Structures are given as structure tokens and as C-alpha cells.
Amino acid sequence: MSEPKKLFIKTYGCQMNVYDSERMVEALGGNGYVEVDSPEQADMVLLNTCHIREKAAEKVYSELGRLKLIKDERPDLKIGVAGCVAQAEGQEIMARAPVVDLVVGPQSYHRLPEMEKAIQKGEKPVDTDFPEEDKFEHLNKRARTLRGPTAFLTVQEGCDKFCAFCVVPYTRGAEVSRPKDRIVREAQELVDAGVREITLLGQNVNAYHGHEKGLAGLIWELAEIDGLDRIRFTTSHPNDMDDALVDAFGTCEKLMPYLHLPVQSGSDKILKAMNRKHTRDQYFHLIDRIRAKRPDLLLTSDFIVGFPGETDQDFEDTMDLVRRVEFGASFTFKYSTRPGTPAAEKPQLPDDVANERLYALQALITKQQRAAQDSMVGREVEVLFEKKGRLPGQIVGKSNYLHAVHAVGPESDIGQIRRVKIVESGPNSLAGVLV
């Protein structure tokens, strides 16, 4: 019996890339590949790339330079670039990095088995199409091997919003929703493999329309699965937060009290320049409605500072929005140009101005995050334990609010939801005792 071939995937960026990497492993499993922990062990290395942040492509080329050193020693090593940088740069990657054997975009990775066979024949395939067929239907069924208690599940891809700073519509394509029956089937497969919490993923997940009642309808249908105890979703657009989804936060027990709802700026002028198609007041009103349904909701967001044309007053409007909403945490970024997007053509702010604003916003967000965590001390929460901690006897998991929580407990509690009293708030996690 021949030895299995070994595959190493390095994943950049968002949770959707994490999900895609899992499916790539499954796709190549049919060609005899098993996953390993380092490129040095591998017969094939795939870089699953992200194109959202500044210098994303350059980071990929730097990694390819490191992989070339391995390939110089082992010429049979196969190297592939997948994901959004692959979609955006395609043939340029092959021209600039001859060490690469294949390039595949995020909508075409179901074709990896055929591409791998082409490599064995000496070809260097590039596939950055937006194929008409549903890639998910061409992938293997989810493996029934036992897995951790949490999982991502992609339900929607692409975006039609065309925010002025974003490359997603160009690298992931138009909004496409997977049919509900296929999602429910995959969710059941995950639960059968030991999963108890599923996070539904989409570039604009609350624009999901594969169920006649939208994302809320899908959540309610998934809530019927016995053994699925928790449901989350990310990431959302304020304009697609319909009444049914708002109501679900108050009525669906399996929908967790956590919401990531990017606003990007607190200035109406900048929101318009970003093509966000909502105002700060509309965002305030939406948050008020959701919190009326679920007062204990932990809310997080995304912010970009230093967007072209942002004045001191525009930035102060953002700071004011953050103070008024009081987020449990947020991601903050300094604007960086993405080639091909409308904002890239506008005059850019000086780096020192953007940096100063980023530091000020980060300080405020950090203060709010700390306050949110400190407020948990003395409370009891439900924790889904996922793994062993670094200390003897310690187990680690996530609360219903997505806080990382560690406690002393038996390994048999891994994969279980236990009630925990929070006794201490640390910089990035909470300490608790089992109740």
C-alpha cells in the first residue's frame, strides 16, 4: 500500500478562508492527500490568500520566496496559490514566481483534484474563472471523522455593495446564496461529527436569500437540528438587517447574543464617500432595535480611519459613534489603497495623520473591550469548552458572548456546554469556575 501524499495549507485572512481551506483538504483527500503541520513535511503546499489588507500580495510573494528554498532542496514539492490574491493576480503570479505550480481562485477550488493531476503531467494550471456550477455540490461530503465542537459553514459568497474601499466584489464575485437544503444537510453532517456550534459565514451573510424567509428562516431551520446548540453568523451589512433577523435575537434560543455589524465610520460624509448607503442615525436606530430585543447583546464592528477626505471633524464623528454605541470589541484599520477600487484614485491622507487617528480609536475601543470583559466578573455564563489549556487541568472554551474563558475542569467536559461563574478578567480572556 502506497504512502499517502502530504498537504500543507497556510491560511490568510477571514473565517471564510478557514472554511475554504478545510474544504480544499477534503477535496484533495480523494487524490490521496493527508494534511500535515509544516511545509517541510509536505508534498504539496497551498497558500490560501486574502486580498483585503495592505500589501497582502507582497506577503504572499515573500512566503513563496521562503518556499522556493524548500523546493530547491526538494524539486518534487508542488506549490499552489489559492484564494483572493490568486483571483486578482492570476497569470502574474506564474510570471513573477516560477516556483508556483498552480493558481486557483476562491470559486474554483473544487477543481483542485483535476488541477493536481495536470501538475503530475507537467502542466501549470491556472483557474480563476467564476464557474457556473456550484462548487459546493462538486466537493466531497464533509468527513464524518470526529472533530472539534465548533465549525464554520459558508452559506453566502460575494458582495453587490461595492464599497469604495473593498475588493471583494472583484475577487469573490456577485452575491450568491447556497440553497437551504444543502446547508441543512452539511450542518447535519457537522453535528454528526461532533460539532455543537456553527458560525454561518458570508461576505455579506445577512443578504442570504437561499431560504424563502432569508437568513432568519435559515437560522430557525437549523435550530431544529438535534445536537446543534449554538448558532452565530458573520459578517453583516446594516442595510440587510431585516425585521425577522432582528426579532430572532429575541426569540431564537440557539442564536447567540453576539453580533458583528461593521459600520466603518461615524461620519455621514465619509459613509457616503465609502458608498455604504446608510447613515450614522440609521445605524443608531438599528442598534437600538436589536438591543430592545436582546439587551445583553455583545456588539462588535469594523472601522476604517484615514479614508480619503476624512477631516478632524469626520474622525470625531467616528469617536462619538463609538462612545454612544459602546462596543464589546472591534477591529480597527488604517485605510490602505486597494488597486481597482474607486477610493484608490482619490488623494490620500498623510500617514502620520492616519496613524494618530488609528491609535486614538484603538485606545477607545480597548477601553470599551476591557469594560465589557470586566463587567462579566461575578456573572454566570454558558461555556462551550473546546480544548485543553496551557496549564495542567485547564480547559478552554467560548462563552455565549464569544469571550474566551478558561477554567479548571475534567477533559471529559471538552465538547460540552457547562455553566461557569466568571471570577477574573484578563487582557484577552476570562477566568471562571465550574458551577
Q: Is 252 annotated as a binding residue?
A: no
Q: Is 14 annotated as a binding residue?
A: yes
Q: What is the DSSP letter of 13?
A: S
Nearest to 233 by CA among 264, 210, 260, 251: 260
DSSP string, 98-109: TT--EEE-TT-G
Assess contact for 49 and 12: CB atoms under 8 A: yes
Write down the number of H helices and E strands in the chain: 14, 18
Alpha-carbon span 19 to 106, nearest angstrom = 11
Alpha-carbon span 54 to 388, nearest angstrom = 35
DSSP string, 310-346: --HHHHHHHHHHHHHH--SEEEEEE----TTSGGGGS
- The three-point CA angle 106-108-111 to 5° equals 135
Cell of 62: 515573500
Alpha-carbon span 85 to 93, nearest angstrom = 9
Q: Torsions phi, psi of 19, nearest 5?
A: -60, -45
Nearest to 87 by CA among 54, 138, 52, 121: 52
**Strand intervals (E) in 270-393:** 298-305, 329-334, 380-388
> Buried (b) or exposed (e) across 217-245, using 16+ Cβ within 10 A?
bbbbbbbebeebbbbbbbbbbbebbeeeb
Alpha-carbon span 311 to 316, nearest angstrom = 9
Q: Which residue in the block uniquely carries the three cell numbers 516560477?
A: 98
Assess contact for 20 and 109: CB atoms under 8 A: yes
Backbone CA torsion sign across 276, 237, 328, 244: positive
Nearest to 155 by CA among 141, 176, 185: 176
Binding-site residues, please? Answer: 14, 50, 84, 159, 163, 166
Binding-site residues for [4Fe-4S] cluster, please? Answer: 14, 50, 84, 159, 163, 166
